[in-house]
């Protein structure tokens, strides 16, 4: 994923994805190409670093019988981002069980997750809310 053009251009680096796809860690270094007019992280880059990961983790864990999409996103900027910032993504057994339970009937279901973007010292830079869409595929549609 590190060579995917939108991430490469923005300076976003995937540092870890766990073998079970339940956890991912992403970093964004401040550089000449991703700073804004006042010299801190460009908000679009901060938002982009939170874009596909929850969807990816869920897709890998839900399996081929489910449709999973990013449905919506929202960001709240709390402090200027300087240096390298980090976002971590986690899904639990409980998250997966709930997604399966809520989609048993074949009806779509939406869930919100909050992701924190933090500075190296642990300061909270931004909060991102991601809405993930789930639907169980009809039987036989593979």
CATH of the domain at 112: 3.10.129.10
pTM, two decimals, is 0.90
- Residue 71 inside a domain? The answer is yes
Two structure tokens written together for 113? 């997750």
- Residue 12 inside a domain? The answer is yes
Concatenating the DSSP letter of every residue in 27-79 gives EEE--TTSB-TTSSB-HHHHHHTTSSHHHHHHHHHH-TTEEEEEEEEEEEE-S
- Residue 9 inside a domain? The answer is yes
- Residue 142 inside a domain? The answer is no
In this predicted model, what pLDDT tens digit does every residue of 55-95 receive, in sequence order?
999 999 999 999 999 999 999 999 998 999 999 999 999 99
- Can you give the pLDDT at residue 33? 83
- Residue 40 inside a domain? The answer is yes
**Residue ranges making up the domain that contains 43:** 5-136
- Can you give the pLDDT at residue 10? 72
- Can you give the pLDDT at residue 141? 63
| Domain total in the chain | 1
- Can you give the pLDDT at residue 120? 87
- Residue 141 inside a domain? The answer is no
- Residue 123 inside a domain? The answer is yes
For residue 2, name the pLDDT band (cuts at 50, 70, 90): low
- Residue 28 inside a domain? The answer is yes
Two structure tokens written together for 75? 């960001």
Contacts (Cβ under 8 Å, ≥6 apart) of 107: 135
SS3 label, residue 87? strand
């Amino acid at each position: 994923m590190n060579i995917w053009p939108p991430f490469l251009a923005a300076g976003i680096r995937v540092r870890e994805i766990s073998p079970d796809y339940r956890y991912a860690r992403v970093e964004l270094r401040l550089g000449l190409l991703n700073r804004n007019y006042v010299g801190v992280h460009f908000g679009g880059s901060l938002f982009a670093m939170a874009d596909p990961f929850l969807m990816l983790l869920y897709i890998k864990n839900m399996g081929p019988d489910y449709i999973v999409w990013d449905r919506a996103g929202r960001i709240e900027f709390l402090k200027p981002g300087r240096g390298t910032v980090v976002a971590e993504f986690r899904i639990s057994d409980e998250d997966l069980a709930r997604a399966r339970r809520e989609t048993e009937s074949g009806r779509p279901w939406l869930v919100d997750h909050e992701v924190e973007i933090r500075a190296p010292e642990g300061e909270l830079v931004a909060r991102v809310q991601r809405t993930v869409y789930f639907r169980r595929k009809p039987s036989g549609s593979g």
